[in-house]
Amino acid sequence: MSRVKEGDYQALREEVKKVLKQPEYDDGSAGPVFVRSLRLAWHASGNFSLVEHNGGSNGAGMRYPPESVDPANAGLHHAISFLIPIQAANPWISHADLWTLAGTTAIQAMGGPEIPWQPGRSDYDSAEAAEEHRGVVGDRLPDGALGASHVREVFTRMGFSDREIVALSGAHALGRCHRDRSGFDGPWVVNPTRFSNQYFKLLLRPIWKPREWDGPFQYEATVAGTKLMMLPTDMALVEDAGFKPWVEKYAADQDLFFKDFSMAFGKLIELGVDRDDTGFARLVKKSAEQGKP
Protein backbone atom coordinates (compact mmCIF):
# COMPACT_ATOMS: atom_id res chain seq x y z
CA MET A 1 0.00 0.00 0.00
CA SER A 2 1.31 3.45 -0.74
CA ARG A 3 1.66 6.24 1.69
CA VAL A 4 -0.34 9.23 0.50
CA LYS A 5 0.14 12.85 1.44
CA GLU A 6 -1.43 13.72 4.78
CA GLY A 7 -4.92 15.08 4.21
CA ASP A 8 -5.23 13.80 0.62
CA TYR A 9 -8.49 11.93 1.09
CA GLN A 10 -9.07 11.53 -2.63
CA ALA A 11 -5.79 9.60 -2.93
CA LEU A 12 -6.81 7.54 0.09
CA ARG A 13 -10.10 6.67 -1.62
CA GLU A 14 -8.02 5.30 -4.51
CA GLU A 15 -6.12 3.12 -2.02
CA VAL A 16 -9.44 1.81 -0.68
CA LYS A 17 -10.60 1.01 -4.21
CA LYS A 18 -7.46 -1.10 -4.70
CA VAL A 19 -8.41 -3.45 -1.86
CA LEU A 20 -12.08 -3.78 -2.85
CA LYS A 21 -11.41 -6.62 -5.26
CA GLN A 22 -10.88 -9.80 -3.20
CA PRO A 23 -11.37 -12.77 -5.56
CA GLU A 24 -11.02 -15.32 -2.76
CA TYR A 25 -13.53 -13.69 -0.45
CA ASP A 26 -17.34 -14.13 -0.52
CA ASP A 27 -18.71 -12.70 -3.80
CA GLY A 28 -15.30 -11.33 -4.79
CA SER A 29 -15.53 -7.93 -3.14
CA ALA A 30 -14.65 -6.46 0.25
CA GLY A 31 -17.21 -3.72 -0.46
CA PRO A 32 -20.23 -5.22 1.35
CA VAL A 33 -18.33 -5.99 4.55
CA PHE A 34 -16.91 -2.44 4.48
CA VAL A 35 -20.46 -1.15 4.31
CA ARG A 36 -21.66 -3.37 7.10
CA SER A 37 -18.61 -2.12 8.84
CA LEU A 38 -20.29 1.11 8.60
CA ARG A 39 -21.03 -0.79 11.57
CA LEU A 40 -17.34 -0.16 11.80
CA ALA A 41 -18.61 3.09 10.57
CA TRP A 42 -22.32 2.43 10.87
CA HIS A 43 -21.80 -0.04 13.58
CA ALA A 44 -19.93 2.51 15.51
CA SER A 45 -22.69 4.93 14.56
CA GLY A 46 -25.36 2.30 14.96
CA ASN A 47 -25.11 2.04 18.69
CA PHE A 48 -25.34 5.78 19.12
CA SER A 49 -28.14 7.04 21.30
CA LEU A 50 -29.49 10.57 21.01
CA VAL A 51 -30.79 10.26 24.53
CA GLU A 52 -27.57 9.28 26.24
CA HIS A 53 -25.35 10.92 23.68
CA ASN A 54 -22.72 8.28 23.52
CA GLY A 55 -21.74 5.58 21.06
CA GLY A 56 -21.58 6.73 17.45
CA SER A 57 -18.86 6.63 14.84
CA ASN A 58 -16.46 8.94 16.65
CA GLY A 59 -13.90 6.97 18.58
CA ALA A 60 -13.93 3.67 16.69
CA GLY A 61 -14.44 1.73 19.91
CA MET A 62 -15.02 -1.34 17.79
CA ARG A 63 -11.32 -2.10 17.86
CA TYR A 64 -11.50 -2.96 21.55
CA PRO A 65 -13.56 -5.13 23.87
CA PRO A 66 -16.45 -5.11 24.59
CA GLU A 67 -17.46 -4.21 21.04
CA SER A 68 -14.81 -6.20 19.24
CA VAL A 69 -16.13 -9.37 20.91
CA ASP A 70 -19.83 -8.53 20.58
CA PRO A 71 -21.45 -11.33 18.49
CA ALA A 72 -23.46 -8.68 16.60
CA ASN A 73 -20.13 -7.58 15.11
CA ALA A 74 -18.92 -11.06 14.13
CA GLY A 75 -17.05 -11.07 10.83
CA LEU A 76 -16.04 -7.45 10.93
CA HIS A 77 -12.46 -8.51 11.56
CA HIS A 78 -12.41 -9.25 7.81
CA ALA A 79 -13.02 -5.59 7.11
CA ILE A 80 -10.37 -4.61 9.62
CA SER A 81 -7.82 -6.95 8.04
CA PHE A 82 -8.48 -5.58 4.53
CA LEU A 83 -7.91 -2.05 5.82
CA ILE A 84 -4.87 -2.69 8.02
CA PRO A 85 -2.30 -2.17 5.20
CA ILE A 86 -3.83 1.21 4.35
CA GLN A 87 -3.89 2.24 7.98
CA ALA A 88 -0.30 1.08 8.47
CA ALA A 89 0.94 3.08 5.48
CA ASN A 90 -1.08 6.13 6.52
CA PRO A 91 -1.03 6.44 10.29
CA TRP A 92 -2.16 10.06 10.00
CA ILE A 93 -5.80 9.08 9.45
CA SER A 94 -7.90 7.95 12.42
CA HIS A 95 -9.50 4.52 12.29
CA ALA A 96 -12.94 6.06 12.57
CA ASP A 97 -12.24 8.29 9.57
CA LEU A 98 -10.73 5.44 7.54
CA TRP A 99 -13.66 3.09 8.21
CA THR A 100 -16.25 5.66 7.27
CA LEU A 101 -14.22 6.65 4.21
CA ALA A 102 -13.88 2.99 3.16
CA GLY A 103 -17.61 2.31 3.49
CA THR A 104 -18.68 5.37 1.53
CA THR A 105 -16.02 4.75 -1.13
CA ALA A 106 -17.21 1.14 -1.48
CA ILE A 107 -20.85 2.17 -1.96
CA GLN A 108 -19.92 4.53 -4.77
CA ALA A 109 -17.49 2.06 -6.36
CA MET A 110 -20.28 -0.54 -6.43
CA GLY A 111 -22.50 1.81 -8.41
CA GLY A 112 -24.19 3.67 -5.56
CA PRO A 113 -24.48 7.37 -4.85
CA GLU A 114 -21.79 9.67 -3.53
CA ILE A 115 -22.17 10.03 0.25
CA PRO A 116 -21.23 13.25 2.02
CA TRP A 117 -18.16 12.56 4.16
CA GLN A 118 -15.85 14.76 6.18
CA PRO A 119 -12.76 13.82 8.21
CA GLY A 120 -12.06 14.77 11.80
CA ARG A 121 -13.13 11.76 13.90
CA SER A 122 -10.72 10.77 16.62
CA ASP A 123 -10.07 7.31 18.06
CA TYR A 124 -10.46 6.11 21.61
CA ASP A 125 -7.78 4.23 23.40
CA SER A 126 -8.87 0.90 24.86
CA ALA A 127 -9.78 2.31 28.29
CA GLU A 128 -11.92 5.02 26.76
CA ALA A 129 -13.64 2.47 24.54
CA ALA A 130 -14.49 0.25 27.50
CA GLU A 131 -15.82 3.23 29.46
CA GLU A 132 -17.80 4.64 26.56
CA HIS A 133 -19.59 1.43 25.75
CA ARG A 134 -20.01 -0.07 29.17
CA GLY A 135 -23.43 -1.66 29.40
CA VAL A 136 -24.66 -0.35 26.08
CA VAL A 137 -23.41 -2.88 23.56
CA GLY A 138 -25.84 -5.53 22.43
CA ASP A 139 -29.12 -3.93 23.35
CA ARG A 140 -28.53 -0.98 21.04
CA LEU A 141 -27.80 -2.79 17.79
CA PRO A 142 -30.76 -4.00 15.73
CA ASP A 143 -31.71 -7.68 15.89
CA GLY A 144 -32.61 -9.15 12.48
CA ALA A 145 -35.00 -11.64 14.06
CA LEU A 146 -37.40 -8.95 15.28
CA GLY A 147 -40.15 -6.86 13.68
CA ALA A 148 -41.16 -3.34 12.63
CA SER A 149 -41.52 -1.89 16.12
CA HIS A 150 -37.96 -2.93 17.00
CA VAL A 151 -36.53 -1.43 13.80
CA ARG A 152 -38.45 1.81 14.37
CA GLU A 153 -37.39 1.98 18.00
CA VAL A 154 -33.69 1.48 17.27
CA PHE A 155 -33.56 4.03 14.45
CA THR A 156 -35.88 6.60 16.01
CA ARG A 157 -33.50 6.65 18.96
CA MET A 158 -30.80 7.65 16.49
CA GLY A 159 -33.01 10.41 15.06
CA PHE A 160 -34.23 8.75 11.84
CA SER A 161 -37.70 9.03 10.26
CA ASP A 162 -39.61 6.13 8.65
CA ARG A 163 -38.49 7.40 5.25
CA GLU A 164 -34.83 7.39 6.30
CA ILE A 165 -35.13 3.96 7.94
CA VAL A 166 -36.44 2.43 4.71
CA ALA A 167 -33.78 4.19 2.63
CA LEU A 168 -30.98 2.95 4.91
CA SER A 169 -32.30 -0.61 4.78
CA GLY A 170 -31.63 -0.56 1.02
CA ALA A 171 -27.98 -1.23 1.98
CA HIS A 172 -29.02 -4.88 2.09
CA ALA A 173 -28.76 -4.86 -1.70
CA LEU A 174 -25.12 -5.52 -0.85
CA GLY A 175 -23.50 -8.61 0.57
CA ARG A 176 -24.91 -11.59 2.35
CA CYS A 177 -25.62 -13.25 5.68
CA HIS A 178 -23.14 -15.85 6.94
CA ARG A 179 -24.04 -18.90 9.01
CA ASP A 180 -20.89 -18.53 11.10
CA ARG A 181 -21.50 -14.84 11.82
CA SER A 182 -25.17 -13.98 12.35
CA GLY A 183 -26.57 -17.51 11.91
CA PHE A 184 -28.67 -16.31 8.95
CA ASP A 185 -27.72 -17.42 5.44
CA GLY A 186 -27.62 -16.02 1.92
CA PRO A 187 -27.71 -12.81 -0.14
CA TRP A 188 -30.73 -10.50 -0.48
CA VAL A 189 -30.36 -9.90 -4.23
CA VAL A 190 -29.01 -11.71 -7.28
CA ASN A 191 -26.00 -9.42 -7.76
CA PRO A 192 -24.85 -8.52 -4.24
CA THR A 193 -21.86 -6.43 -5.30
CA ARG A 194 -23.92 -3.90 -7.26
CA PHE A 195 -25.69 -1.11 -5.38
CA SER A 196 -29.25 -0.75 -6.72
CA ASN A 197 -32.95 -0.66 -5.74
CA GLN A 198 -33.32 -4.42 -6.41
CA TYR A 199 -33.87 -5.08 -2.72
CA PHE A 200 -37.08 -3.01 -2.73
CA LYS A 201 -38.35 -4.56 -5.97
CA LEU A 202 -37.82 -8.05 -4.56
CA LEU A 203 -39.44 -7.21 -1.23
CA LEU A 204 -42.67 -6.35 -3.05
CA ARG A 205 -42.84 -9.62 -4.96
CA PRO A 206 -45.12 -12.32 -3.48
CA ILE A 207 -42.38 -14.94 -3.60
CA TRP A 208 -41.18 -15.14 0.00
CA LYS A 209 -41.71 -18.27 2.08
CA PRO A 210 -40.38 -19.17 5.52
CA ARG A 211 -37.25 -21.28 5.08
CA GLU A 212 -37.52 -24.75 6.53
CA TRP A 213 -34.19 -25.46 8.12
CA ASP A 214 -32.43 -25.75 11.47
CA GLY A 215 -31.23 -22.12 11.42
CA PRO A 216 -32.94 -18.97 12.70
CA PHE A 217 -36.28 -17.98 11.17
CA GLN A 218 -35.76 -16.26 7.80
CA TYR A 219 -37.53 -16.03 4.43
CA GLU A 220 -36.33 -17.50 1.15
CA ALA A 221 -37.12 -17.40 -2.57
CA THR A 222 -35.33 -18.57 -5.69
CA VAL A 223 -34.87 -15.90 -8.37
CA ALA A 224 -33.03 -16.51 -11.64
CA GLY A 225 -31.65 -19.73 -10.18
CA THR A 226 -30.22 -18.02 -7.10
CA LYS A 227 -31.46 -18.65 -3.58
CA LEU A 228 -32.18 -15.32 -1.91
CA MET A 229 -33.16 -14.40 1.62
CA MET A 230 -34.91 -11.76 3.70
CA LEU A 231 -34.61 -11.22 7.44
CA PRO A 232 -37.72 -10.67 9.54
CA THR A 233 -36.59 -7.02 9.88
CA ASP A 234 -36.45 -6.72 6.06
CA MET A 235 -39.93 -8.18 5.66
CA ALA A 236 -41.18 -5.81 8.36
CA LEU A 237 -40.74 -2.98 5.85
CA VAL A 238 -43.62 -4.28 3.71
CA GLU A 239 -45.76 -5.32 6.67
CA ASP A 240 -45.80 -1.90 8.31
CA ALA A 241 -48.10 0.86 7.05
CA GLY A 242 -45.54 3.60 7.76
CA PHE A 243 -42.66 1.85 5.98
CA LYS A 244 -44.39 0.23 2.99
CA PRO A 245 -45.12 3.40 0.93
CA TRP A 246 -41.38 4.16 0.94
CA VAL A 247 -40.53 0.64 -0.22
CA GLU A 248 -42.95 1.19 -3.12
CA LYS A 249 -41.48 4.59 -3.99
CA TYR A 250 -37.88 3.34 -3.93
CA ALA A 251 -38.79 0.23 -5.97
CA ALA A 252 -40.28 2.50 -8.64
CA ASP A 253 -37.64 5.25 -8.60
CA GLN A 254 -33.97 4.36 -8.17
CA ASP A 255 -32.88 8.01 -8.37
CA LEU A 256 -35.08 8.90 -5.41
CA PHE A 257 -33.64 5.95 -3.48
CA PHE A 258 -30.06 7.01 -4.23
CA LYS A 259 -30.76 10.60 -3.19
CA ASP A 260 -32.45 9.61 0.08
CA PHE A 261 -29.89 6.90 0.84
CA SER A 262 -27.03 9.33 0.39
CA MET A 263 -28.56 11.82 2.83
CA ALA A 264 -29.54 9.23 5.42
CA PHE A 265 -26.20 7.44 5.27
CA GLY A 266 -24.32 10.73 5.45
CA LYS A 267 -26.30 11.44 8.61
CA LEU A 268 -25.58 7.99 10.05
CA ILE A 269 -21.82 8.41 9.83
CA GLU A 270 -21.98 11.80 11.54
CA LEU A 271 -23.82 10.47 14.61
CA GLY A 272 -21.86 11.04 17.78
CA VAL A 273 -19.36 13.28 16.00
CA ASP A 274 -19.28 16.71 17.64
CA ARG A 275 -17.39 19.16 15.46
CA ASP A 276 -15.95 22.45 16.58
CA ASP A 277 -15.83 25.54 14.31
CA THR A 278 -12.82 24.20 12.45
CA GLY A 279 -14.54 20.88 11.69
CA PHE A 280 -12.39 18.96 14.13
CA ALA A 281 -14.44 16.35 15.93
CA ARG A 282 -14.16 16.14 19.69
CA LEU A 283 -14.78 12.93 21.56
CA VAL A 284 -18.21 13.08 23.09
CA LYS A 285 -17.90 13.61 26.83
CA LYS A 286 -18.84 10.73 29.03
CA SER A 287 -21.55 10.31 31.60
CA ALA A 288 -19.61 11.61 34.59
CA GLU A 289 -19.36 15.04 33.02
CA GLN A 290 -22.73 14.84 31.34
CA GLY A 291 -24.41 14.43 34.69
CA LYS A 292 -23.15 17.82 35.86
CA PRO A 293 -25.47 20.81 35.51
**99 is an active site residue:** no
56 binds ligand HIF (CB under 6 A): no
Identified catalytic residue from 43, 78, 95, 172:
43
Binding track over 77-116 against ligand HIF, x by CB under 6 A: ----------------------------------------
Stretch that binds ligand HIF, among 17-25, 86-94, 175-183, 241-249 (CB under 6 A): 175-183
The Cβ-side half-sphere exposure at 103, using a 13 Å CA radius, reads: 33
* Bridge partners (DSSP) listed for residue 29: 21
Parallel/antiparallel/unpaired status of strands 226-230 and 219-223: antiparallel
42 binds ligand HIF (CB under 6 A): yes
- Of all residues in the shown chain, the one whose CB is closest to ligand HIF is 175
* Candidate residues 12, 35, 228, 269; the one interacting with ligand HIF per rule CB under 6 A: 35
Who contacts 186 (Cβ-Cβ below 8 Å, separation ≥6)? 176, 177, 218, 220, 227, 228, 229
CA 77 to each of CA 73, 91, 139, 147, 159: distance values in angstroms, whole numbers, following the listed order: 9, 19, 21, 28, 28
Total residues at interface with ligand HIF (CB under 6 A): 25
Q: From the CB of 133, what's the least distance to ligand HIF, in Å?
A: 18
Binding track over 213-232 against ligand HIF, x by CB under 6 A: ------------------x-
55 binds ligand HIF (CB under 6 A): no
**43 is an active site residue:** yes
Write the DSSP symbol of residue 44.
Answer: H
CB 151 within 8 A of CB 142: yes
198 binds ligand HIF (CB under 6 A): no
166 binds ligand HIF (CB under 6 A): no
DSSP 165-204: HHHHHGGGGS-EE-TTTTS--EESSSSTTS-SSHHHHHHT
Q: From the CB of 41, what's the least distance to ligand HIF, in Å?
A: 9
List the catalytic residues.
43, 188
